[in-house]
Structure 1
């Protein structure tokens, strides 16, 4: 005859429960010690299992999102970048822009926190059960060009069109070839009024004709991208240079010092 332990383990496995088997005996001893009711005992077990399930969900969704690192809004130094309105960013973190299929564009020089803010908002979106995918502009066009050569372009396009939120990082660091620019336009067109995009760029909109090698195509991209969007312009010093200065890597040269 199968014992109760075996039956419980079998039930846990069928339900897909992983946390309860780890804590069952401890909580059973605590329940007996503190004279908890059956319902209180059951509630404690189920709440821990639900919490563990939620952690697994967040971990899995974060991995699938392809984020370059894990940085939150709480880790962002708003005092260093005074050009950023913290209240505006906090408002964006309510994710109404995703609910309304709107876009968000961060513009500014390298190192000012554009990608950090994009990742932080992505993590907030994952917590709200939105699907997210992160890519650099370079990786996006490389992936689509390779897929086009392998005749798998339709399948790859879905990677970039299906998520609720697509993050395209580092627009403007490399000029796009003609085919790459048209693939980029296709992504923007497919997502227009259907899904949100967060985009970061070190170039002002006036320079996008150079990025895409075609002012007409750049205008068409901007027309769709900016129709329902918010632009955040960030001005200031690079965080990375700030940290190097703290560490003493940037010191005035002997010849640059003023005579005493």
Structure 2
């Protein structure tokens, strides 16, 4: 507010015609905007999103099997308030992680607490936390997250500790938070990558039954970028 007041004094010709209430309102608006911006910066820092993506930059012209109505519903974010999940699947190079990060960025802008984790590194971090006494605290922090993004799910069969950690995470969050999972594997094969049939049933019951699905298909966007003909600036046809 002090900064805004100094600006009003320097540009007095612009503001002198305004009444006291109007100028005070501008100061309050500036203070509120600054606080909102700082909170957003804090949420984005905590989220640690892998990619600087935002939903406004999503290109729906690329053929990936994305339905516009479904994507509009996901961008709206009401599903997060209902503690529903989202499963994004498809071959590599179709932008699964980008879409997950874009939705995470939108959730941060909506005032929600978001956390991004690549699944292999999350399990490594939990193993280290188990050894130094931070395991319970780490799980608690994940539980409090309104939107948890689990990227690169299903790259390998889970070990016994990893299965238990995943079940604890999903059990703690069930009905309390939303989870986005990205995977190259179709959902039908997730049972196999968990390994233990009993734990797989428990994990998938908490993850899949109330989840929206976004199956992507098409040619790799990385391949498209490499094979696209470069723009000829020489003036030749």
Of 14, 19, 24, the match for 1:42: 24
What is the match of residue 205 of structure 1? 187
Of 163, 166, 172, the match for 1:190: 172
**1:54-84 Cα distance to aligned partner (Å, 9 max, x none):** 1111111110111112211121111113411
Task: Report the secondary structure of 2:212's partner residue.
Answer: strand
> Which structure 2 residues correspond to residues 118-129 of structure 1 after superposition, within 5 A?
118-129=100-111
**Separation in 2, partners of 1:32, 1:108:** 59
**Separation in 1, partners of 2:189, 2:170:** 18
Of 9, 23, 28, the match for 1:28: 9
Cα RMSD (Å) of the superposition? 1.8
Equivalent residues of 1:106, 1:201 under 8 A apart: yes
Is 1:154–2:136 an aligned residue pair? Answer: yes
* TM-score, normalising length: structure 1: 0.82
* TM-score, normalising length: structure 2: 0.89
**Separation in 2, partners of 1:219, 1:239:** 34
**Separation in 1, partners of 2:102, 2:127:** 29
Shift of 1:46: 2.0
**1:190-221 Cα distance to aligned partner (Å, 9 max, x none):** 11112111111111123223322223322221
**Separation in 2, partners of 1:30, 1:224:** 58
Judged with a 3 Å threshold, the aligned counterparts in structure 2 of structure 1 residues 191 and 247 are, in CA distance, closer, same or farther, namely farther
Structure 2 spans left out of the alignment, 5+ residues: 231-237
> Which structure 2 residues correspond to residues 1-260 of structure 1 after superposition, within 5 A?
20-32=1-13, 34-246=16-228
Shift of 1:29: 3.8
Paired positions, count: 229
Larger relative contact order (CA 8 Å, sep ≥ 6): 2
Q: Which has the larger radius of gyration?
A: 1
**1:128-182 Cα distance to aligned partner (Å, 9 max, x none):** 2111111011121111111112232110101211111111111012332221122
Structure 1 spans left out of the alignment, 5+ residues: 1-19, 249-260
**Separation in 2, partners of 1:90, 1:174:** 32
Task: Report the secondary structure of 1:36's partner residue.
Answer: coil
